[in-house]
Structure 1
């Protein structure tokens, strides 16, 4: 078994436990969303003639993840010291050495260097890291470093979390990471305390309702998840109020794709998490304690917890599935609202001959399938919050029609984008992701920002669509 296979196997089932353990024992945690250069230093170039890996040439000369000045000098890392050099006149190099531990690499302990080359302005990098934990990561993955003290010296336990993993979602959840988050230093104890305060405020209300025999009514009034369409409206309303807008007409917004991303991935996600926290908390109380107040002994509660373990597992699994399904519906609802506000004609969830249901057809299936002049201007617009391999399902919806796939997913590799191009699939993404250093969208002819899609694809056809 190769080293890479071993790492992949170990990561597949244990990263959540490793992350939880790390956060439980460290005073400060640095979280960094890795840029392309932060990953590519660990990757080797492919020989264009032979197609084989050239182990003498890396993808870039960076040699390790970049650390910005603010985080470098925050006190999280040891202070840099001037490196002694034999040659006079050479630009100064500042450095610090410390040990990092990598549980995903069988707990290997590495002597790591934080180095600042003054000849390269403020450029500072971490070097001496296990290459295999970075080389296969998808775009927008994370590096997590937790600081602990050993023999009066700082040691750093480190993880890499793939952007397509459940652990990346957990990390974002724990630290309330915005979609645009790049790097930050957090104190887990402080975060835990703030979260506990927020939970206890609601817990007092739940306790009062249970003691008063009103827990069922309380659940209906205070802890019921709105249907996805209602939640989407609440999120959109919050966005409009935040920016003083009347609607989300894509032709009036400078960055309509970023607006969709903020509404669905930030505002609605925060609303959803709060509703789900309340809903699941009350459900758990009712499951263990029942609806009627009574004197309860600790032994009875423990026994009930054990007896109801399968039901508790089912409740937690349901919560996880609810999160996944919500994300897709959220993006569809916001796109539907944006098309409506832009007076763009469309049909939704029309059944094709192949029994497929594309999310949107612009302007209509009848228009696209007619043999009239200009019918080729019609298109299918499919929405996927996350892609992975799901874009291949979308390809089957084409049936000779133009297909555009819109997503807010950051973790699509360049190879997958090229595969989509070979099938005639065009990607439509938020404007901020178009040339982001954390994504691999740049340089592909089949990738458009949402604004480019509206201006270059939709607008020239609007008069024809409307008249039809």
Structure 2
């Protein structure tokens, strides 16, 4: 299981809402953000003198609920005393940023988070450095922007231990809690390397290699079964389906990364192409690794749910089966009790349930609305933390009920939690319909 915290990867963090001067060059002579020393950032960024500027590598990210993928780029920022040429005045330190695809998206009022990362937490590409004589300092910064009130803002605030903020920087509480799997997934999507060493890693790696051979990835179903069996003594799927699902997912994620590391390292040693230096072959391989990570987690999620439902004796079918469709050739992820019952006009509609399964939602939750027109309300199970109130209100208006494992409920507001089902409650609803 994972027991690391955000403080294992981050030295310091602060956040604020951007002012016009921060975000709009037309209202300021510079692309710069002030106020960080008040949040303690001088401790991590240093104190450049009157003749110095410090430069740091930075990953810049803009996340919007309306975009399928965040905008991400690697850049540099400069930390300096904007009064360095005024000898009789005290220092005023600011963070200067350069034009980039990310900074082109920001505007007044956006949420902004900046984190000083521990060494090697964020390996960045070298990019063009303006020739002003500044040397790169060790370490790197994570700079994340998001529209105010968005799901991304709330997830980031939970992840980095941030309470209410305003236009002044507020420092986060980095030891606020262990990293939930959904928040780990979010960090990894931002490019943070979450590979905290563990004394048991070598033992698990050996077991994986003995079982699967170390030559290629096994089918997801086989790997998921191994993950479940490996912690069978520590889970109780009948008494605690919510906790069990999260433990299965976390264990599989950990084992997958260990096994993936072995395969990727072997490929790196072998090289790419006939002479080992084929750039296109390397890029294609890198893309295949990323795509496998994304597709595998969704298939694993559905597979673990399938196992839970079978253990609870539920009657159901998965949509991936041949001919398992509803109107417009739609394929709900799970149909209770069966697709045959759904298509039988004499079968009572109130005894039919459908469940969409998506590890993350974004706007993809709308796909569920067009599936299984006979069934209202519809259900969607997800691992996404802290979806915005605006989105959950819209889901409720379309009679879509969210099913979320209990441990993730705390990332939602109390108002939202009143509407959420956990997995145990959903299973009880299905059993009641199938009596």
TM-score band, normalised by shorter chain:
0.5 to 0.7
What does 1:31-430 correspond to in 2, within 5 Å? 42=17, 104=60, 107=77, 109=79, 136=110, 144-146=115-117, 157=141, 159-160=143-144, 178-179=180-181, 221-243=213-235, 245=236, 248-249=237-238, 252-253=239-240, 256-264=241-249, 266-288=250-272, 304-306=275-277, 308-349=278-319, 350-372=324-346, 374-402=348-376, 403-430=378-405
Q: 1:369, 1:375 within 8 Å by CA — same for their partners in 2?
A: no
Matched position secondary structure for 2:115: strand
Deviation, structure 1 residue 318: 0.3
Deviation, structure 1 residue 226: 1.4
Matched position secondary structure for 2:11: strand
Report the counterpart of residue 57 of structure 1 in structure 2. Answer: none
User: Distance between the aligned counterparts of 1:28 and 1:435, measured in 2?
Assistant: 23
User: Distance between the aligned counterparts of 2:408 and 2:9, measured in 1?
Assistant: 29
Deviation, structure 1 residue 333: 0.2
Deviation, structure 1 residue 218: 11
TM-score (norm 1): 0.53
Deviation, structure 1 residue 356: 1.1
Change (3 A) 1:315 1:342: same
Question: For residues 364-417 of structure 1, what are the alpha-carbon distances to aligned partners after superposition, in whole Å with 9 as ceiling and x for unaligned?
Answer: 123334444743121111100111121122211131313100000115222222
User: Distance between the aligned counterparts of 2:305 and 2:223, measured in 1?
Assistant: 14
Q: 1:413, 1:440 within 8 Å by CA — same for their partners in 2?
A: no
User: Distance between the aligned counterparts of 2:183 and 2:248, measured in 1?
Assistant: 16
User: Distance between the aligned counterparts of 2:379 and 2:195, measured in 1?
Assistant: 42
TM-score (norm 2): 0.57
User: Distance between the aligned counterparts of 1:278 and 1:411, measured in 2?
Assistant: 34
Greater mean alpha carbon deviation, residues 441-450 or residues 232-241: 441-450
Question: For residues 55-105 of structure 1, what are the alpha-carbon distances to aligned partners after superposition, in whole Å with 9 as ceiling and x for unaligned?
Answer: xxxxxxxx99xx9xxxx9xx9899xxxxxxxxxxxxxxxxxxxx9989559
User: Distance between the aligned counterparts of 2:270 and 2:57, measured in 1?
Assistant: 42
Deviation, structure 1 residue 348: 1.2
Which residue of the other structure, out of 404, 415, 420, is the alignment partner of 1:447?
Answer: 420
* CA RMSD after TM alignment: 5.1
Q: 1:219, 1:279 within 8 Å by CA — same for their partners in 2?
A: no
1:30 aligns with 2:11: yes
Q: 1:100, 1:157 within 8 Å by CA — same for their partners in 2?
A: no
Matched position secondary structure for 1:409: coil
Change (3 A) 1:134 1:269: farther
Unaligned runs of at least 5 residues, structure 2: 1-7, 20-34, 47-53, 61-74, 82-93, 97-105, 120-133, 161-177, 185-193
Query: In terms of Rg, which structure is larger?
Result: 1
Q: 2:243, 2:405 within 8 Å by CA — same for their partners in 1?
A: yes
Change (3 A) 1:179 1:129: farther
Question: For residues 327-376 of structure 1, what are the alpha-carbon distances to aligned partners after superposition, in whole Å with 9 as ceiling and x for unaligned?
Answer: 10010000000000000110111222311111110111233344447431
Report the counterpart of residue 99 of structure 2 in structure 1. Answer: none
User: Distance between the aligned counterparts of 2:196 and 2:417, measured in 1?
Assistant: 45
Change (3 A) 1:192 1:329: closer
User: Distance between the aligned counterparts of 1:317 and 1:155, measured in 2?
Assistant: 27
Deviation, structure 1 residue 219: 13
User: Distance between the aligned counterparts of 1:390 and 1:341, measured in 2?
Assistant: 29
Deviation, structure 1 residue 449: 1.8
Q: 2:349, 2:374 within 8 Å by CA — same for their partners in 1?
A: no
Unaligned runs of at least 5 residues, structure 1: 1-26, 33-37, 45-62, 79-98, 112-127, 183-190, 203-216, 291-303, 464-468
Q: 2:242, 2:405 within 8 Å by CA — same for their partners in 1?
A: yes
User: Distance between the aligned counterparts of 2:315 and 2:108, measured in 1?
Assistant: 45
